[in-house]
Amino acid sequence: MEMWMLAIILLASMLILLALGLPVAFTLGGLSLVIGYFVWGGDAGFYAVALGTLGKVAEFTLIAVPLFLFMAAVLQFSGLADAMYEMIYRWMGRVKGGLAIGTVIISTIFAAMVGIATVATATLGLTAYPSMLKRGYDKRLVAGAICAGGALGVLIPPSVLMIIYASETDVSAGQMFFGGVLPGLVLAIIYIVYIAVRCALNPAAGPPIPPEERFSWAEKVQSLKAVSLPILLILLVLGVIYLGVATPTEAAGVGCIGALACAAVRRQINIENIKKIFHMSVSTNAMVFWIIIGAVAYSRLVTVSGVGEWFSTWITGLEINRWVVLILMQAVFFVLGMMLDPAGILYITAPFFIPTIKALGFDPLWYGILWIINMNIAYLTPPFGFSLFVLKGVAPPEVTTKDIYIGIWPFVCLQFIGLALCILFPELVTWLPGKMIK
C-alpha cells in the first residue's frame, strides 16, 4: 500500500470515529489493533501493539504521573486555598480588581504545586467566586480569571503534561519543568495587568472592599503565614531537581510527602478527606493512562509503518517557510483543543509533528512549551474546554454557562499573546533550563 493512502486511512478513520463520539482512548486503541492487523500481517499486529504499549506505560518517567496526581488531590483537600484567599483578601481587597488579581496569584502558586489545571479552578470556584460576587465583581471577569489562572497548572512546573511530553519525545523532563517557569509567570503577569487596567477603566467590574472591611497591618502580616507552606513545598520539589538530589520522577514522590505534611499541619488528614483523595487520584490516573495506552498504540503504528517519517519528508520537501509550518501546527492544536483531551492531542500529532520539527531544525524543548501553552488554551476553549465544565460544576447558581463562555475569551486572547511572545523570543523558554539543568 502506498504511504499516502495509509496516512489518509489512519487520519480519516480516526477523525470519523472521534466525530461519532467514541472516546479517544478506545478510538486510538481500536484503530491500532484493526489497522495493525493488516499492516503487520495477521496476529503479529496484535502482539506488536500490546508489547509496544506495555513498554511505554512501564517507563520510569511515567511513574511521576500518578504521584503528581496524588499530590494534587492531597492539596485540593488540604484547605490551603482557603487560607491563601484570606491572605489575598486582606492585602489586595482595597485595590480595584484586587480580589481577581489575587485569584490569579493564588492560581500561580497552586500551579507550582499541583501539576494539573483543575485543582485551582475547582477550589477557587468554591471559595473565591462567591466572595467576589458578593462584593459586586463582574461574574464574567471572575470566571475568566479563575479558569485562566487554573489552567497555568499545566504550564508552571511540576506539570503532568510535561511528564507525558518528555516521555513521548525523549526531552528531559527537568528541562521541560524549568522551561515552563518564565512563560507561566509572563502569562500570569499579562492576566494581572489586564485585570488591573480593565478595573481601572471600569471600577464597577472589580470594586474595592469598603473601608469598614479593611484590615490593619498586624492582621495583614499575620495572614502571610498562609503562603509559608506552599512556598516550602514549591522549593522542595524544584529544589531537589535543581540540586541533583532527585530526578523529576523521584521529586514527585518527595512532593507527595510534602503535600501530606502540609495537610497534616492544617489538620486535614481525616477519613472523609482520605476517601476523596484516593478517589480523585485513582479516577484521574485511570483516565490518563487509558488515553496513554490507546494513544501509544496509535503512535507506534504511525511510526513503525513509516507514515510519520513519510509525512516529515513530505513537509520538509515542500517549498514552504518553516515558520509557516510551525504556525499551521499551532492552528491544528487550537482546533483539536476545542474537542480533545491534551494527552490525546499529543499522541495523535506527535508521530507526525515531532519528526517534522526536528527536520526543520526547531528545538523540541521549545516546541514542547509551545504545545503546553496551546493545551493551556485548550482548557479554556468551548465547546469542550475542561476547565469550563469544572467551574460550572462548582460556581454559584447565578453564574450561567454563557457567562463562563463569554468571560474566558479575553483571557484566551491573552494566552495567544503569551504564545506569540514565546515564538518571537525563544529565550523565554530556553534560557532558564540552560542555567538550571546541566
Overall residue count recorded for the chain in this entry: 438
CB atoms within 10 A of CB 99: 26
Q: What residue segments make up the domains of the chain, in order of their start? A: 3-436
Mean pLDDT score of the chain: 82
Using CA atoms, how far residue 369 sits from 68, 106, 166, in Å, is 19, 22, 11
Residue 201's H or E segment, with its range, is helix 181-201
300-305-311 Cα angle (round to 5): 95
pLDDT tens digits for range 94-144: 888 888 898 898 888 877 777 777 777 877 787 788 888 888 889 999 999
Is-contact 157 177, C-beta < 8 A? Answer: yes
pLDDT tens digits for range 211-226: 777 777 787 788 777 7
262-173-149 Cα angle (round to 5): 55
pTM: 0.80
pLDDT range class, residue 411, cuts 50, 70, 90 = very high
Give percent above pLDDT 90 in the chain: 17
| pLDDT for 44 | 65
- How far out from the chain centre does Cα 139 lie? 24
Give the three cell numbers for residue 152.
497555568
The rounded distance, in Å, linking the Cα atoms of 166 and 326 is: 20
pLDDT tens digits for range 188-201: 999 999 999 999 99
The rounded distance, in Å, linking the Cα atoms of 312 and 315 is: 5
Is-contact 138 382, C-beta < 8 A? Answer: no
Per the model's pLDDT, the better-predicted residue between 376 and 39 turns out to be 376
